[in-house]
Structure 1
C-alpha cells in the first residue's frame, strides 16, 4: 500500500469502532483486545475502570499490523516518550497534521504560550479541512466519537507521528502476496488446533472492514505471527478445528491455498 492508503486504513479501522461505548459495554471489546498484546507494555493489564483513549489508539495499531511504528501503550505520557525516542514527536505551533496523525490534548492548557503539560487525552486525526480538523477518539464521553477542533487550537499538546512512509510499498499483485506468504509458510509451521466442534464447520465471510489477519498461532498478536491479511468479504473455510485463547475462539481455516488461524469474532457463517 502507499503511505496515503496506510493512513486511510488506520482511519477506516478507527471509524469501524464508532459508537462503541461504556453504557452498553461494547467498549470492553476494545480493552479486551488491548490486553491480548504480548508482551503487555509495562506488564500492565488495563481494567474496565481505566481511561481507554490510548488503549483505543493502540488497538487500531494492532489491527492494522503497525505496532512497530504506531506504538502500543495505555498511557499518553509514556506514548510521547516513545515517539520522542523514535524522533516522531511534533509540537511546533505551525504544524499542520495529516490523517492518521495522533493528537494529544492537555485540558489544563490556558492558551497562553507553549503547552507543555502532561497529556490527558489522545485521538486519531481523520481529516483536515482548512483550519479545522476532525478527530476520532476513544473514551470521549465514554464512547468512541468524533471531535472537531481548530488546527493549532487550545488544548493541543502535540502530535505523535507514526512513520507510515516506512511501511509504504509499491503496489503488488495478490499472486505476489500469496507467493510471499507461501514462502513464509515453508519456514514457519501453523500450530495444531486443540479442539474440534463439528457445528463450527462451514464457510465464513470476513466481516472486519479492515480485513482479518491470518496467523500461524492462535491469539498471538505480533507481526512475526502474521501470514497475511484476508480482505473484507472474502471467504474462508473452517473444518471445525479451533483453539480458545482468553475466551476467544480462534478458528483454523483455509484461504485459497493457505492455512492459519483467525478470530471467530470477525466471521459470519454462510447459510447452506
Structure 2
C-alpha cells in the first residue's frame, strides 16, 4: 500500500474511531471501559485506533519496550504487572487509578509513536488478508480494513461474501446494512448503531482515493517530498498584492477538488498567509499529510487533528515544516496565544541558531524572514510526515539578489571569510559593508535584552537554551563571573553565531567549567537569568571577570 493511502486510511479510521467522525481527527488519549463500545466487550479499549483487549495490552508492551523509562514514569498504578495477563480472559476492568495510568502511558511520545506503528502493522495485515480473499481494488481494500478493524476477520469475510462484484465502497456498504434485517443480534458490524460510521468511511474513501488500483510496486509512485514544498514556495518569492500576482496562490487553493475546511473558499481581499501554506498542499496534492485552512487558528486545530502539531517553541524545525507566530508573545513561558501568521521553513542553520521562513502575506508579498531557534513569537510548528528528511535550500553566489538573501549566505559560509569574502561580494556587485550590517542585524537584532537591574534569585518562567553543546571542560573555569561590557550570549562560540540575549554590563553569570573555542578564544557555556527567562549559551571569556 502506498504511504499516501496509509495516510488517508489513518485519517479515515482515526476519524470514525476516536475523532468524532471528523476526517483526519484522532485522539491519542482515547479510552473506553468494559462494554463501553459494545455489550460483548470484556475489557478496556485504548488509543486513537481503539485497540481492544489484548491488542491494547500489546500496545502497552510495545511502549514499555520502546521507552521503559517513560512507561514506568507514567505507570502510577502497576500496569506493567498486568502485561503478562490475558486481559480478555480475565475480564480486566481497570480502576479509575489504572485508567489514568493507562492514558498517561499511551500519550507519552513513545506511546503515540507505538499507536501509529501498531496501526500500520494491523493495516498491512488486513490488506494481505483482503488480497488473499481476492480483493484487489484499493477502495474496497480500505473498506475491508475498516470492517475488520471494527469486528474481526470472520465478519469482514461474511460481508464480502454477499457483496456484489466488482467490489466497491457502495457494494460493500449495501452488504453491510443487510445486517440490520437480522434482529436477533444487534452487535453485528452492519447494525444500525454503526451505520453513520460506515457512511463516513464510504464518503471519505470515494473523496480522497482517486485511483482504484494500488500501484505501490510500480515506478513513478507519488512520494511526499520536503524538497518539493521548499522548491515550490521559493518559486513564489516576489508574488505580491501591488501587481496582483499573489492572486495565483489564492486561485490554486480555490481549485481544491475536496471538501473545503469549514466549507469556505478563499477571497482575494482576505489575509493570505495560511492560504499560501495550504496552496502548497493543494498544488502538490499533499493534503493527506499537510493540513489546509485559510485561518491560522483553525490551521493549528487541523494540524492537531492530523497528529502533526508540535507545541514546543524550542523545536528545531526541518525544511518543509510550518512555523506559526503569535505577535503578542511576551517572551515568558511557552507561547500558547492565538496564532497570527504562518510561513514555511526553507533553511535551517542550527549551529548559528536560526532558521529562514518563506511566507505569504509578509508585507503584502511572498518574502523570507529570519527567526531565532526557540525565539520569541513562535507559537509552534506543523510537522507533516514526509517520506524523507532530505531537502536543501542552497545559497548560490550570484548577483542580483537581495541584501537579506546574501547576508544569509554569508552566515552559512557560502562567500568565504575575511578579505576573500569582501572581494567575492564586490565582484558580484554587492557592498561588503552593507552586507555585514545586515549580517549583524540577523545575528544580533532579535536578541533579548533588558536595562533593569537583575536580582540574584528570580523565578524562572522559561528557559532559552542554545542548540549547540559545550565540547571542552576545565574544572578551573567553573564559577561566577561579572560581565565587563554589554555582552551577547550566543548559540555557539564565535561572533557569527546567533545571539540569544544581550547581557547588561555588571551582570553576574555562572559557568560549570564547560566551554568551546573560536579563533583561539574560549567561549564559556554560561547561564544567566534576565527578567525571569533563563538563557544558557556561550559568551566570550574576554568580557567576563571572575568573582
TM-score (norm 2): 0.29
Per the TM alignment, residue 5 of structure 1 is displaced from its structure 2 partner at its CA by 7.9
Rounded Cα–Cα distance in structure 2 between residues aligned with 1:29 and 1:53? 13
**How has the CA–CA distance of structure 1 residues 11 and 166 changed in structure 2, closer, same or farther, with 3 Å as cutoff?**
closer
Rounded Cα–Cα distance in structure 2 between residues aligned with 1:83 and 1:101? 11
| 2:357 equivalent to 1:135 | yes
| 2:259 equivalent to 1:48 | no
Rounded Cα–Cα distance in structure 1 between residues aligned with 2:306 and 2:252? 25
Rounded Cα–Cα distance in structure 2 between residues aligned with 1:33 and 1:9? 16
**How has the CA–CA distance of structure 1 residues 43 and 96 changed in structure 2, closer, same or farther, with 3 Å as cutoff?**
same
Rounded Cα–Cα distance in structure 2 between residues aligned with 1:34 and 1:43? 13
Rounded Cα–Cα distance in structure 1 between residues aligned with 2:388 and 2:239? 31
Per the TM alignment, residue 166 of structure 1 is displaced from its structure 2 partner at its CA by 8.4
Higher helix proportion: 2
Tell me what 2:256 maps to. 37
Rounded Cα–Cα distance in structure 1 between residues aligned with 2:317 and 2:248? 29
Instruction: Tell me, yes or no, if the aligned pair for 2:226 and 2:388 is still in contact at 8 Å.
Output: no
Tell me what 1:154 maps to. 376
Tell me what 1:16 maps to. 235
Instruction: Tell me, yes or no, if the aligned pair for 2:318 and 2:389 is still in contact at 8 Å.
Output: no
What's the CA shift string for 1:177-233, capped at 9, x where partnerless?
Answer: xxxxxxxxxxxxxxxxxxxxxxxxxxxxxxxxxxxxxxxxxxxxxxxxxxxxxxxxx
Helix, strand or coil at the partner of 1:165: coil
Tell me what 1:220 maps to. none
Structure 2 counterpart of 1:94, from 314, 317, 331 = 314
Helix, strand or coil at the partner of 2:324: strand
What's the CA shift string for 1:56-81, capped at 9, x where partnerless?
Answer: 01111112221111122111111111
| 2:281 equivalent to 1:66 | no
Helix, strand or coil at the partner of 2:358: strand
Moved more, 40-49 or 115-124: 40-49
Higher strand proportion: 1
Tell me what 1:119 maps to. 339
Q: Which has the higher contact order (CA 8 A, sep 6+)?
A: 1
Rounded Cα–Cα distance in structure 2 between residues aligned with 1:27 and 1:145? 12
Per the TM alignment, residue 30 of structure 1 is displaced from its structure 2 partner at its CA by 0.9
**How has the CA–CA distance of structure 1 residues 93 and 33 changed in structure 2, closer, same or farther, with 3 Å as cutoff?**
closer
Helix, strand or coil at the partner of 2:345: strand
Rounded Cα–Cα distance in structure 2 between residues aligned with 1:14 and 1:27? 12
Rounded Cα–Cα distance in structure 1 between residues aligned with 2:266 and 2:287? 18
Rounded Cα–Cα distance in structure 2 between residues aligned with 1:98 and 1:45? 29
Over the residues paired in the alignment, what is the CA RMSD in angstroms? 2.4
Helix, strand or coil at the partner of 1:138: strand
Structure 2 counterpart of 1:108, from 308, 317, 328 = 328
What's the CA shift string for 1:17-37, capped at 9, x where partnerless?
Answer: 110000000011111221111
Rounded Cα–Cα distance in structure 2 between residues aligned with 1:73 and 1:67? 11
Rounded Cα–Cα distance in structure 1 between residues aligned with 2:261 and 2:224? 28
Instruction: Tell me, yes or no, if the aligned pair for 2:289 and 2:385 is still in contact at 8 Å.
Output: yes
Larger radius of gyration: 2
Please show how residues 209-228 of structure 1 align to structure 2 within 5 Å. Answer: none
Helix, strand or coil at the partner of 2:365: coil
Rounded Cα–Cα distance in structure 1 between residues aligned with 2:340 and 2:309? 16
Instruction: Tell me, yes or no, if the aligned pair for 2:347 and 2:355 is still in contact at 8 Å.
Output: yes
Per the TM alignment, residue 123 of structure 1 is displaced from its structure 2 partner at its CA by 0.3
Helix, strand or coil at the partner of 1:153: coil
**How has the CA–CA distance of structure 1 residues 32 and 21 changed in structure 2, closer, same or farther, with 3 Å as cutoff?**
same
Tell me what 1:186 maps to. none
Rounded Cα–Cα distance in structure 1 between residues aligned with 2:388 and 2:288? 10
Any unmatched runs of 5+ in structure 1? 169-272
Tell me what 1:229 maps to. none
Rounded Cα–Cα distance in structure 1 between residues aligned with 2:335 and 2:389? 31
Tell me what 1:79 maps to. 299
**How has the CA–CA distance of structure 1 residues 166 and 87 changed in structure 2, closer, same or farther, with 3 Å as cutoff?**
farther
Rounded Cα–Cα distance in structure 2 between residues aligned with 1:93 and 1:11? 22
